[in-house]
Amino acid sequence: MNLCSYLKMKKHILVVPGDGIGQEVTAVGKKVLEKIAEKFGHEFTYDEALIGHAAIEAAGNPLPDETLEKMRASDAVLFGAVGHPKYDNDPSAKVRPEQGLLKMRKELGLYANLRPIKLFDELLSASSIKPEILRGSDILFFRELTGDIYFGEKGRENDGDTAYDIARYSTYEVERIARKAFDAAMTRGKKLMSVDKANVLETSRLWREVVQRVAKEYPEVTVEHQFVDSAAMLLIKDPRRFDVVVTANLFGDILTDEASQIAGSMGMLASASIGDGTGVYEPIHGSAHDITGMGLANPMASVLSAALLLDISFGLKEESDAIINAVDLVLKSGVRTRDIADADTPKDKILGTDATGEALLSYL
C-alpha cells in the first residue's frame, strides 16, 4: 500500500465550477473529497474561482488574473466545464468562454491530458456497441494539450471570406507527451498506439519520427502506428485492441469523445490535465445548458476526476480506489442517472445529481 495513505496530508484544492452543469457536478465532487478527508484523516482546504462565461459576466475576462493566481497557488484544481449557447451561434464574438480554458492550459503548462476509458460491467447495456465487443476494454489516452491547430496562428483574409488555422508542433512538444505515454505503458500492458495522419500532414510526419525515436528508449513496449481515420474505426470495431494511446491535440479531442461510447456516456469519463505544476481534473463532458439547473446531470465523471486528483497529484492511491469502488457499488445497486439508464432501469433507481451524490457518499 502507498505510504502516503497512512500520513495525514494537508492540501489546498481550488474548485473551479465554470458554466452550466459544471457548477452542479463539482459540488458533488467536492463533497466526495470532503468525505475522503474525514475518512482517512487528511486536511483539505478549498477555495473557488471563476472561468468561462461566468467569468465573462462577472469580470469581462474568461480567465481573470485572480483565478490564474489561485490556480498556481493550489495543490490541485477540481474543474467543471466551460461554454454557453449564446456564443455557439455567434462566430463573430471576440471574447469566448473557451478562450479561458485554452489560456489556462497554456499558462499552467498543462501539456498532457490523460483520459482513462474504463468500462464498468454494469454499464455494458448503456453503450450502443455490442457487449461482447466492449467487455474488458481498458484504454488510457494521452492527448497533447498545448500545441497543434488549437494554439497555432489563426485569422481571416479576403474581407473575411477566407479563414486559416495553422497546426504547429516542435520535437520537444512531441517528446515530452510521448515519454509520459511510454512510462504509463510500462506500468500496464506494455502496448502503445500512436495516432497521427502522417500520410498527409507534415506535423504528423514529425510526430511519427519523434515517437519512433523515443520508442528506442522503451524496447519492452510494443508500438503500433495508426492513421487517425483508421484508429477511429478500430475504436468502435475492436476497443480491446487499445491499451495506451498517444495522439495530437485535435485528434485526441475527437477520439476521446468517440470513446465515451465505450463507457456508455460522457458522464462517466474523467480526465487529468497535467504538466510540471498544478494539475487540473475535470469531466470530459461540456456545460450541457439544456439540462442546467434541472438536477439531472451525472456527477460520476466529476467524482472520478476527484479520484484521479487524489492518485496523480497527491499520491493517495488507496483513497482514489475507495472512490472508484464506491462508484462501482452504486452502479451494482442499480442506481442510474438519466444518461446511463436503459429501458429496464426501474424508475425509482433513476436518480438526479444530488441523490446520486448521496448514494456515492453512503458507500464511502
Task: Count Cβ atoms within 10 A of the Cβ of residue 4 and give its class: 0-12 exposed, 13-18 middle, 19 or more buried.
Answer: middle
Q: Is 208 annotated as a binding residue?
A: no
**Coil vs helix vs strand at 219:** coil
Instruction: Give, rounded to a whole angstrom, the gap between the first and last alpha carbons of the chain.
Output: 19
* Domain final residue pick, 214, 236, 263: 263
Report whether pLDDT(3) > 60.
Answer: no
Residue with cell 467543471: 80
| Distance in angstroms (rounded) separating the CA atoms of residues 243 and 10 | 34
> Is residue 122 a part of any domain in this protein?
no
Shared-domain flag, residues 316 and 286: yes
129 and 264 Cβ atoms separated by less than 8 Å: no
Phi-psi region of 56 (alpha: psi -120 to 50; beta: other; left: phi over 0): alpha
Shared-domain flag, residues 246 and 156: yes
Residue with cell 457499488: 329
Q: Is 229 annotated as a binding residue?
A: yes
Q: What's 190's DSSP letter?
A: S
- Any idea what the CATH number is for the domain that residue 28 is in? 3.40.718.10
Question: In the chain, what percentage of residues exceed pLDDT 70?
Answer: 98
State pLDDT tens for residues 120-149.
Answer: 989 988 888 999 999 999 999 999 999 999
Helix axes 171-187, 202-215, angle to 10 degrees: 50
User: What is the domain range of residue 353?
Assistant: 1-115+266-364
Shared-domain flag, residues 147 and 224: yes
Give the CA radius of gyration of the chain: 20
Question: In the chain, what percentage of residues exceed pLDDT 90?
Answer: 87
Query: Given this model, what pLDDT does residue 6 score?
Result: 59
Shared-domain flag, residues 253 and 308: no
| Distance in angstroms (rounded) separating the CA atoms of residues 342 and 339 | 8
Joined together, the cell numbers standing for residue 260 give 465515451
Mean pLDDT, to the nearest integer, of 358-364?
A: 97
Q: Is 65 annotated as a binding residue?
A: no
State pLDDT tens for residues 59-101.
Answer: 999 999 999 999 999 999 999 999 999 888 887 788 999 999 9
Query: Given this model, what pLDDT does residue 228 score?
Result: 98
Query: Given this model, what pLDDT does residue 126 score?
Result: 85
Query: Given this model, what pLDDT does residue 264 score?
Result: 83
State pLDDT tens for residues 286-307.
Answer: 999 999 999 999 999 999 999 9
Shared-domain flag, residues 253 and 272: no
Instruction: Give the pairing of strands 162-165 and 154-157.
Output: antiparallel
Report whether pLDDT(2) > 70.
Answer: no
Report whether pLDDT(4) > 60.
Answer: no
Query: For residues 193-204, b (16+ Cβ closer than 10 Å) or e, as one string?
Result: bbbbbbeeeebb
* Domain final residue pick, 226, 243, 263: 263
- Local confidence band at 104 (pLDDT 50, 70, 90 cut-offs): very high
Shared-domain flag, residues 226 and 330: no
Query: Given this model, what pLDDT does residue 121 score?
Result: 87
Shared-domain flag, residues 93 and 134: no
**Coil vs helix vs strand at 36:** helix
User: At 51, which amino acid appears?
Assistant: I
Joined together, the cell numbers standing for residue 265 give 456516456
Shared-domain flag, residues 246 and 280: no
Query: Given this model, what pLDDT does residue 235 score?
Result: 96
Report whether pLDDT(182) > 60.
Answer: yes
Which of the residues are catalytic?
150, 197, 229, 253, 257
Residues in the chain, overall count = 364
Report whether pLDDT(161) > 60.
Answer: yes
Neighbours of 332 (CB within 10 A): 12
State pLDDT tens for residues 248-281.
Answer: 999 999 999 899 888 888 899 999 999 988 999 9
What pTM was estimated for this model as a whole? 0.89
Residue with cell 519523434: 210
**Residue 164 backbone phi and psi in degrees, to 5:** -145, 150
